[in-house]
Structure 1
Amino acid sequence: MSNQLSFRILEDIARDLSGEVVSFPTFLDITFQVRTALKNPQLTVDDLGRLVAAEPLMSTKVIRLANSAAINRGGRPIVDVRSAIARVGMEAVRTVSFAVAMEQLLNSKKMAAFQSLSGRLWEHTMHVAALSRVLARRFTRINVDEALFAGLVHDIGVFYLLSRAVSFPELVASPRELHQLLADWHDHIGHALLAAMGMPEELVLVVQEHEQERPVSNLSTLTDVVFVANRLANAEHGWRDAAFCELPDASIASAFFEPAALATLLAESTEDVTSLKAALGG
């Protein structure tokens, strides 16, 4: 990437994220509404239900999540928002709000130039989110909803950079330069974005270190869970294009598990991955 173009984009983003008032892209509006509501200790399921019901796409996804095979193991169908929130929990609504926001961004007309990349990014995100939940449930005592949310937002820096890249025609016209920017800066930008949003430090660390090379001998932290989930997803569902940038090494995930154990994990998690993808990204 030309130094001048890179500097212009990163300077623009740094100016925004370091200011007293961060002007986030409109795709995060609904997320802020939910985040603000969840800060209220007096918030009830009914109150949150009214907020969610006002956004048709979000209410649909909350109900889908409540009825997914990963959540609804009893099989009793949920058809209303309040009952769905009662089943999945209030914090899970935060996850859905991010999913709605990201999906709306990627489906917006202004992102048409990045359609192929956007599709791969969304597919990768859904796999990492679902696999993070599966890994947390099977191998740790980490809250599975926190793992799901961390997996969902691990690449938020890529989403954010794409939302800004559309304002730079030179970048739109150069897939190689775009990929280089995304690969080199998405973890740093994602870290700064979530920090500016006031997200918990543990979550900010997940985004900062989800691709940082390091030995992982066991899944003891949320960062470890998302790191391994990301590597597992990259094996077949990465967002990068090999024609424009180097692909991340996915072998560490296979090295972490014995071949038979890895095959069992992926086979057993298929239902969860499929159902969660359908609920959050369908």
Structure 2
Amino acid sequence: MSDPVTPPQSANLAKNRLYLDCYKYMQSDKLALPTIPDVSFKIRRAINDKKANNSKIAKVVQIDPSITARLIKISNSPLYRGRRKIESCPEALTRLGLKVSQNIITAFAMKAVFTAKSHIIRRKMQDLWTHSSYVAAISAVFAHKTPGFDPDRAMLAGLIHDIGVVPILAYADKNADILTHPKDLAETIKELKNDIGIQIIRKWDFPSDFEDVINHSEDWYRDGGPEADYTDIVMISQLHSYIGKIDIKKMPKMDQLPAYKKLAAGHLDADQSINILDQARDEIDHIQQMLS
């Protein structure tokens, strides 16, 4: 777990039962965290089996026809397209490689985590998924156009950047009576989502650099070193996702951010970056559709 969260200092937090409950259970490792989707777990286990080959792994993947179809589809997309069209699961695994396939399949299966029963919380889960999948799609396209980055890893990083919100929404879904003020949920998410997100990443045994994605994807002026990383990719993708949705005066100027400067220095065309939502719209929509 990351560094302990400071107990509530403000009067609002001290009265916020959702925050107090989630904080207490998080600190004692008793907060219900989402489990990695079953199909993703089985495929990861098969891929990591040293005795497995593409044919055996394909049999596991093909248990889920939807995952199989989307894996084939993305292997033919501009992100990975080769000289000939891929038409089978084993061929897709060969073209993409097992580690790439593992990341992509995990991303495809991730939507199962974003569920709730009550109408209000279900809507918030849907909004969270829409935002996360949009950031993931932009991240994949950025990574495809920037040397040194893998689109599949960037897509997964984009998907999980707000994963810590899920257990908070899930707890609110089961305990609606503790929400006494409309701001309770927003306050709790702001205070706890990063620490809870890191707990989930560690539970799922995801790459350790994804912890930086969770902690710093909205830390606009972060400078993590001389080289760009996946946090920078997700951060700039987030800013692009806000265009047309948030008052531009409330957003930092992109060309002044360390992340943007490092990505541009990595030969990402500046004009293409600023206009990525227009220039890469078809590919972004394509990835979003596959994630959904």
TM-score (norm 1): 0.78
- CA distance, structure 2, for counterparts of residue 5 and residue 185 of structure 1: 11
Q: Which secondary structure does the structure 1 equivalent of 2:149 belong to?
A: coil
Given the alignment, which residue of 50, 53, 71 partners 1:44?
53
**Match for 2:19: what amino acid?**
S
Matched residues, percent identical?
21
Give the aligned partner of residue 225 of structure 1: 233
- CA distance, structure 2, for counterparts of residue 120 and residue 46 of structure 1: 38
**Match for 2:63: what amino acid?**
A
- CA distance, structure 2, for counterparts of residue 236 and residue 17 of structure 1: 39
Given the alignment, which residue of 76, 91, 111 partners 1:103?
111
Give the aligned partner of residue 53 of structure 1: 62
Give the aligned partner of residue 15 of structure 1: 28
- The structure with the greater share of residues assigned to helix is 1
Q: Which secondary structure does the structure 2 equivalent of 1:155 belong to?
A: coil
- CA distance, structure 2, for counterparts of residue 123 and residue 201 of structure 1: 25
Aligned length: 268
Give the aligned partner of residue 6 of structure 1: 19
Report the Cα offset of residue 27 of structure 1. Answer: 5.8
Q: 1:153-177: per-residue Cα shift (whole Å, max 9, x none)?
A: 2121123332333222135675532
Unaligned runs of 5+ in 2: 1-12, 261-268
Give the aligned partner of residue 194 of structure 1: 201
Give the aligned partner of residue 187 of structure 2: 180
Unaligned runs of 5+ in 1: none
Going from structure 1 to structure 2, the CA distance change for 1:24 and 1:49 (only over 3 Å counts) comes to farther
TM-score (norm 2): 0.76
Q: Which secondary structure does the structure 2 equivalent of 1:71 belong to?
A: coil
Report the Cα offset of residue 92 of structure 1. Answer: 3.3
Q: Which has the larger radius of gyration?
A: 2
Give the aligned partner of residue 29 of structure 1: 38
RMSD: 3.3
Give the aligned partner of residue 131 of structure 2: 124
* 1:88 matched to 2:96: yes
Report the Cα offset of residue 276 of structure 1. Answer: 0.9
Give the aligned partner of residue 278 of structure 2: 267
Going from structure 1 to structure 2, the CA distance change for 1:205 and 1:173 (only over 3 Å counts) comes to same
- CA distance, structure 1, for counterparts of residue 25 and residue 47 of structure 2: 31
Q: Which one is further off, 145-154 or 212-221?
A: 212-221
**Match for 1:95: what amino acid?**
N
Q: 1:7-56: per-residue Cα shift (whole Å, max 9, x none)?
A: 212222343369xxxx7435633333233333323332222211111123
* 1:210 matched to 2:217: yes
